[in-house]
Structure 1
Amino acid sequence: MGMVYLAALLLSLGCMLLLDWRFRLFFWRDAVSATVVTLVGLVFFLLWDVAGIANGIFFRGDGAIATGIVLAPELPIEEPVFLLFLVVCTMVIYTGAERLITRWRENRRTGAGAS
């Protein structure tokens, strides 16, 4: 039972990457830029977590579905995986929305799709 949360995070991350691959939104559109954005976002959020932990704001919850493995005090192994998922999910949603809005504007400008 202790791997459920980590497995769910990895499965969700895999699904986001499949959407990305299917529609060429983030990593499959520009792998170098996507890697830089992902690493910067991950480091930013990890530093945010470390600052919160150091100030006594963030605490590790004890859950039956978590592995119990900690990378540092109050920093479970699931946290960087969650933050990675958060960054990838955000960028897939952002680039997908950007594409949809661009197509909508083009269709509106050219009159395509008008009834």
Structure 2
Amino acid sequence: MLYLAALLTSAACILLIDWRHSVFIFREPLRASVILVIGAVFFLLWDIAGIALGIFFQGTGPYMTGIMLGPELPLEELVFLLFLCHITMVLVLGSQRVLERRAKS
């Protein structure tokens, strides 16, 4: 449960940054939602392939919720993948904005 709480707290912090600077979700919500879903689905398919090939497996520990979305696929993985896609887009688009402003000055 602690891992999920840490992921959700981190995601909330990135959402606040996104909201404050209108970088991704708060700039174009529909487009951002589509991109997040596509990214998460891509990485979920990657995970499923890795699980099927015996490369990926669920680690055990007291910090997990124990909620499984599929064999060897914990709930925390989906939350992490959404967080990963969101933070990547905030970093890329935020960096692009900073570099464009520097180039203008």
Give the secondary-structure state (helix, strand or coil) at the position aligned to 2:69: strand
TM-score, normalising length: structure 1: 0.90
Stretches of 4+ moved more than 4 A in 1?
none
In structure 2, the residue matched to 1:85 is 83
Question: How many residues are aligned here?
Answer: 105
Give the secondary-structure state (helix, strand or coil) at the position aligned to 1:37: helix
Find the partner of 1:62 among 60, 67, 70. 60
Q: Which amino acid aligns with 1:25?
A: V
Task: Determine which structure has more spread, i.e. the larger CA radius of gyration.
Answer: 1
Q: Which amino acid aligns with 1:54?
A: A
Distance in 2 between the 1:39 and 1:72 partners? 18
In structure 2, the residue matched to 1:33 is 31
- Identical aligned pairs, as a percentage? 55
* 5+ residue gaps, structure 1: 108-115
In structure 2, the residue matched to 1:96 is 94
Distance in 1 between the 2:82 and 2:24 partners? 14
Q: Which amino acid aligns with 1:34?
A: A
Deviations 1:14-65 (A, max 9, x none): 1111000000000111111101110100100000000000000001000111
Q: Which amino acid aligns with 1:80?
A: L
Distance in 2 between the 1:19 and 1:53 partners? 34
* Aligned Cα root-mean-square deviation (Å): 0.6
Distance in 1 between the 2:59 and 2:26 partners? 35
